[in-house]
Amino acid sequence: MNDWLRDVFHDRPVWINALMVFSAYMAFVYMPWDIFWKPVSRDEEVWFGILFTGWSAKLGALAHWFVYAAATYGFRRRRPWMRIWGPLYSAQVAFGMLVWNVLYWGSWTGWIVGLIGALPFAALTLALFGAHEYFRDPRPHLRERYGDWALVTGATAGIGAELARSLARRGVSCVITGRREERLRELASELEQRHGVSTRCVPVDLAESGGAERLADACRDLDIAILVNNAGVGYVGRFDKQDTGRLRDLVEVNCSAPVVLTSKLLPAMLERGRGAVIITGSVAGRQPLPLHGVYAATKGFDLLFGEALYVELRGTGVDVLVLEPGVTDTEFQEVSGQIPHGGATAHAVAEAGIEALGDQPSLVFGWIQWIRANAAARLVSRPLVAYIAREITRPSTPAELR
Ligand SMILES: NC(=O)c1ccc[n+]([C@@H]2O[C@H](COP(=O)([O-])OP(=O)(O)OC[C@H]3O[C@@H](n4cnc5c(N)ncnc54)[C@H](OP(=O)(O)O)[C@@H]3O)[C@@H](O)[C@H]2O)c1
């Protein structure tokens, strides 16, 4: 508990922490009550000093909820847009104080009371404006933070190839791996020519016994600073219609390989006192997912493994992130036997993952997916979620596999 509190509050001044707690209270307690329980007839909201009542007040309350929810997130993650968001909202309150009092008291009394009311918020606006250094990325460059080399599994396609590109763009040299050697060579020359980094291609089948160990051995002479456990396969269909060998391979690639590689490469990172481990999980791992049952279970495994590792390694200099994409437009859908159905770009997923590294234990990509993973899956009973999930996976599952 103490470590968690330190994690949440350690890198901001007390007054910014206080604003963060106040915003969280407004977003999670007061505004939901105001929106859902307060009768419309009693609802009142003030914006820019103008009083709104009834349904217009309810709409104003929604806007207020959005302001406080964004502020909670912005204070917590020290987002650069808070340099504008914070002072702007506080200035609006200061302005509102003045207008409200002038309108409702009138004459000099209104101006005097209004100025007295506006003063603290004007001071807060200036303080927030002056605190812009807390809202810039406080972290040094990726290579300075972790080191020169990354190992990226599943780099021959999709999210893995984009993760390698994102790392190379930041000057990190890459060991890239997958089974298709030709693709590895193509990506390696692209990274070298475009970003001037070094590369090493290690073709390996992670489903084969000893595959992950061979890969770790092939990097033994390099200081691997960032391990990206990204390789993964899906397999769509009802369990009794699935092939045993393919299921076993899926568990090997999605679960055993990340465990073995992390176990082999982590000790050197700990010795150096810096490093990072990324595991590509999936929002599929947040709940039972009929027609992707084993796949979703392996991604649940990745999530729990990664989040536990994050906490175990706090204070060692080694960061851990479980990157949880939703549906992404890669070869994955075809390889897993689904009917293709589009999705986010692999580039956007990879960039978000690299940016979030060091900030948090896990990242669900996309706010709709975030709501689905965090709100829906926690508020609704798990069996019911499973039934709903089956309705979502059914259309992309070929009829003969349902
Ligand atoms: N696409 C999505 O909708 C989605 C959503 C959530 C999470 N994810 C996760 O994101 C990760 C990357 O998936 P993706 O969408 O980029 O899929 P992808 O385009 O199919 O790429 C999968 C990668 O994994 C490698 N791989 C598969 N089996 C392997 C094996 N036996 N040995 C070594 N490498 C192997 C593939 O390389 P070779 O074929 O050359 O071996 C390929 O580079 C996976 O962990 C997946 O579970 C994907």
From the list 146, 235, 295, 310, the catalytic residue is 295
184 and 311 together in one domain: yes
How many angstroms does the Cα of residue 341 sit away from the middle of ligand 1?
A: 16
220 and 323 together in one domain: yes
Cα 126 to Cα 14, 83, 115, distances in angstroms: 17, 11, 16
Name the residue with higher pLDDT: 200 or 112.
200
How many angstroms does the Cα of residue 54 sit away from the middle of ligand 1?
A: 52
How far apart are the C-alpha atoms of 375 and 367, rounded to whole Å?
11
44 and 173 together in one domain: no
Ligand 1 atom nearest residue 329's Cα: 1
Nearest to 402 by CA among 303, 299, 293: 293
Ligand 1 atom nearest residue 161's Cα: 43
Q: What's the pLDDT at 133?
A: 74
pLDDT averaged over every residue in the chain: 93
Ligand 1 atom nearest residue 299's Cα: 47
Name the residue with higher pLDDT: 293 or 5.
293
pLDDT tens track for 41-78? 889 888 888 889 999 999 999 999 999 999 999 998 88
179 confidence band (pLDDT: 50, 70, 90):
very high
245 and 262 together in one domain: yes
How many angstroms does the Cα of residue 280 sit away from the middle of ligand 1?
A: 9
103 and 222 together in one domain: no
248-262 burial code (b ≥16 CB/10 A, e <16): ebbbbbbbbbbebbb
Q: Taking CB atoms and a 6 Å cutoff, what residues make up the pocket around ligand 1?
A: 154-160, 178-180, 205-207, 230-233, 253, 280, 282, 325, 327-328, 330-332, 335, 343, 346
149 and 179 together in one domain: yes
Region of poorest pLDDT, from 115-129, 201-215, 317-331: 115-129
118 and 179 together in one domain: no
Q: Whose CA is nearest to atom 2 of ligand 1?
A: 328
Counting ligand 1 atoms within 8 A of each CB, the residue from 321, 330, 334 with the most, and so the one to mutate, is: 330
Ligand 1 atom nearest residue 160's Cα: 16
3-state secondary structure labels for all residues of 115-142: HHHHHHHHHHHHHHHHCHHHHCCCCCCH
Tokens 């992404």 -> residue: 328
119 and 234 together in one domain: no
How far apart are the C-alpha atoms of 343 and 114, rounded to whole Å?
51
Nearest to 71 by CA among 24, 124, 33, 106: 24
Q: What's the pLDDT at 249?
A: 98
Query: Of the candidates 135, 158, 178, which is a domain's last residue?
Result: 135
Query: What six digits make up the tokens of 317?
Result: 């200099």
Whole-model pTM: value is 0.83
Q: Return the CATH number at 232.
A: 3.40.50.720
Q: What's the pLDDT at 137?
A: 63
Which 3 state secondary structure label does DSSP give 153? strand
Average of per-residue pLDDT across 294-321: 97
Could you tell me what percent of the chain has a pLDDT over 90?
74
pLDDT tens track for 160-171? 999 999 999 999
How many angstroms does the Cα of residue 330 sit away from the middle of ligand 1?
A: 8
79 confidence band (pLDDT: 50, 70, 90):
confident
Query: Of the candidates 135, 163, 179, which is a domain's last residue?
Result: 135
Asked if 329 and 345 count as a contact pair (C-beta separation under 8 A), the reply is yes
Query: What six digits make up the tokens of 212?
Result: 């992950």
Asked if 325 and 382 count as a contact pair (C-beta separation under 8 A), the reply is no
pLDDT tens track for 344-393? 999 999 999 999 999 899 999 998 898 888 877 788 898 999 999 999 99
How many angstroms does the Cα of residue 28 sit away from the middle of ligand 1?
A: 37
Q: What's the pLDDT at 148?
A: 97
226 and 269 together in one domain: yes
Q: Hey, what amino acid is at 344? A: A
Ligand 1 atom nearest residue 336's Cα: 20
Average of per-residue pLDDT across 177-204: 97
Counting ligand 1 atoms within 8 A of each CB, the residue from 233, 253, 324 with the most, and so the one to mutate, is: 233
Domain that holds residue 338: 142-401
Query: Of the candidates 89, 105, 135, which is a domain's last residue?
Result: 135
Average of per-residue pLDDT across 15-22: 92
- Would residue 295 show up in a list of annotated catalytic residues for this protein? yes
56 and 182 together in one domain: no
Q: What's the pLDDT at 9?
A: 82
Counting ligand 1 atoms within 8 A of each CB, the residue from 177, 182, 230 with the most, and so the one to mutate, is: 230
Asked if 369 and 285 count as a contact pair (C-beta separation under 8 A), the reply is no
Q: Beta-carbon neighbour count of residue 343 at 10 Å?
A: 16
Asked if 201 and 180 count as a contact pair (C-beta separation under 8 A), the reply is no
Which 3 state secondary structure label does DSSP give 370? helix
- Inter-axis angle of helices 293-312 and 244-251, nearest 10: 20
pLDDT tens track for 111-158? 888 899 899 999 999 999 888 777 866 667 899 999 999 999 999 999
How far apart are the C-alpha atoms of 376 and 374, rounded to whole Å?
6
Domain count, the chain: 2
128 and 158 together in one domain: no
Q: Whose CA is nearest to atom 44 of ligand 1?
A: 232
125 and 148 together in one domain: no
How many angstroms does the Cα of residue 160 sit away from the middle of ligand 1?
A: 7
Strand partners, 53: 44
Query: What six digits make up the tokens of 160?
Result: 């893995």
Q: What's the pLDDT at 312?
A: 96
